[in-house]
Amino acid sequence: MFDVIGRNFVFLMGGLLTTFELAVLALAGGIGLGMLVGLARLSKNPWIYYPITAYVNLLRNIPLILVIFWFYFVMPIIIGEAMAPFPAAVIAFIIFEATYFGEIFRAGYQTISKDLTAAAFSTGMTYAQTARYILIPIAFKRMAPSLITQSIVTFQDTSLAFVIGLTELVRRSSIVDNMEVRSIELYGFAAFVYFIVCYTGSQISLYYENKAREVNLI
């Protein structure tokens, strides 16, 4: 009964590749932007704090699928031309995920004592240098488990990009399903692929987490 998978394997794996491409860009951008969002959420400058806090609260209270839709339909009005699904999805994901990663980083920065920052300042380091060499690396290590969990969630969320026509794994499964009507096998296979990737990812991260804990206690 799984012959439908075999016959369309290359086509489906092409979808998985798109899923990976979207996930990698969404994570790189979301984590990178999230580091800065987390800093901004702790800023004493009201011109930084309030706009970023409003952005975070807004995006965290809207379903991702609506953010993707909204972005896909509003961007053409702003930039004057239609956007291809892939770049639209990448930008929507980065903007959305950065709010979640931002809150994780904020929690990480809050584990760092004020005096540690003062110690860095007292050696003449600027705020930017202190953030780059002290705050971000420590928050990254301390929040590694949460960051990995959110990364896995992001990977799964990329399937939502099918609503704007991005031919990732779920979309390609539905395309094949429309032709061959083998829903259970096709969506079962897609679920299986997601499970393998996410479970492997969480196991690998667990291994490195334990290893990191052994050598470097922070």
Partner 1 sequence: MIEINKINKWYGDFHVLQDVDEVIENGQTVVICGPSGSGKSTLLRCINGLEPFQKGEILVDNTSVKDPKTDLYKLREKIGMVFQRFELYPHMTAMENITLAPRKVRKWSKEKARDKAMELLKRVGMVDKADAYPANLSGGQQQRIAIARSLAMEPAYMMFDEPTSALDPEMIKEVLDVMVELAKAGMTMLCVTHEMGFAKEVADEIIFMDKGKIVERGTYDDFFNNPQTDRAKLFLSQILD
| Residues at the interface with partner 1 (CB under 8 A) | 113, 115-116, 118-126, 129, 133-134, 137-138, 141, 216-218
CB atoms within 10 A of CB 188: 14
Q: How far is the CB of 125 from partner 1 (least distance, A)?
A: 6
d(CA 77, CA 180): 38
State in angstroms the smallest separation of the CB of 32 from partner 1: 19
- The number of beta carbons lying within 10 Å of the beta carbon of residue 52 is 19
Distances (CA, A) of 26 to 11, 63, 104: 23, 17, 16
Least gap, CB of 112 to partner 1 (angstroms): 9
Q: Under 8 Å CB-to-CB from 130, ≥6 apart: which residues?
A: 117, 120, 121
Closest CA to 27 of 161, 151, 202: 151
Q: Pick the closer one to partner 1 by CB: 84 or 212.
A: 212
Closer residue to partner 1 (CB): 120 or 166 = 120
Closer to partner 1 by CB, 140 or 187: give it: 140
- Closest approach, Cβ 137 to partner 1, in A, equals 5
| Least CB distance to partner 1 at residue 210 (A) | 16
| Minimum CB distance to partner 1 smaller for 74 or for 119 | 119
Which CB sits closer to partner 1, 54 or 116? 116
Give buried/exposed letters for 27-38 (b at 16+ CB in 10 A, else e).
Answer: bebbbebbbbbb
